[in-house]
Copies of this chain bind each other. A is one copy, B any other.
Amino acid sequence: MAPRFYAPAAEKAGDAVDLPEDEAGHLTRVLRLTAGAPVRIFNGRGQEFDAVVETAAKGRVRVRIGSAHPAPHDPRVAVTLAQAVLKGDKMDDVVRDAVMMGVAAVQPIVTARTEVSLAALARARRRARWERIAIAAAKQCGRATVPPILEPRAFTVTVAALGRLTLPGPGLMFVEPATAEGAQTLGELAAAPPRETTVVIGPEGGWEAEELDRAAAVCRLVTLGSRTLRADAMAIVALAALYAVWKEY
């Protein structure tokens, strides 16, 4: 199969589009492709095309878009993953795996027990880093969609957004077995898949009681079994379990 590149400007056959800088670098410096090379182009919005390199020089690459190519379907349920930012670079892996599993968007959140602040995330340009990871993950897994990484926000603001439905509801907030009073099991959730939903996953230290109370007003609280999982595995486990019960697999 021809190597795949991300070019958000690609719209239809016949277009000549420039690759973004990172992609052009990958094509010329890593893969050492030159004019005439056949490639695949995906535009990040679900469309994929055959294409040919028209010019490739000094990190500037233009491709000529050919016929559309069927791309794998995204999951029927559009899941926004609202993930509390994890320590170190663990969030990178969660973003990568969530994109490969098919999420529709990632909403990084800062909770009471999140160790990093919104200011520190902005200073370190973490959102731009996660956007690059999302593109790389889409290339690797064969997706033609690059899910947006939303501006990181506070948990309280996220809950308010769920209440106003500016984030897709119904929200499903995953809680630890120990804090599971009143929480539902996955089997108790309505069998009919929603059209879209927001899945809320906490940080290493778990949720504060006040956060659980606030969320309970706008989210369903859900537990997965009786064993505690690592915070960095929680999103993957929750997504896989949800896609499975929604018959995505």
Please list the residues of chain A having a beta carbon within 8 angstroms of any beta carbon in chain B.
72-73, 75, 96-97, 100-102, 140-143, 177, 185-187, 223-230, 233, 236-238, 240-245, 247-249
Contact at A177–B249, with CB atoms within 8 Å?
no
Contact at B187–A227, with CB atoms within 8 Å?
no
Contact at B230–A240, with CB atoms within 8 Å?
no
Contact at B241–A225, with CB atoms within 8 Å?
no
Considering the complex, give the chain B residue whose CB is closest to the CB of A102. B227
Partner of A230, one of B100, B226, B241: B100
A60 to chain B, nearest CB (A): 30
Partner of A96, one of B226, B228, B230: B230
Contact at A177–B225, with CB atoms within 8 Å?
no
Contact at B72–A229, with CB atoms within 8 Å?
no
- Bound complex: CA A226 to CA B71 (Å): 10
Partner of A229, one of B141, B185, B241: B141
Contact at A244–B186, with CB atoms within 8 Å?
yes
- Bound complex: CA A140 to CA B231 (Å): 12
- Bound complex: CA A209 to CA B120 (Å): 48
Contact at B228–A100, with CB atoms within 8 Å?
yes
Partner of A100, one of B185, B227, B249: B227
Considering the complex, give the chain B residue whose CB is closest to the CB of A137. B230
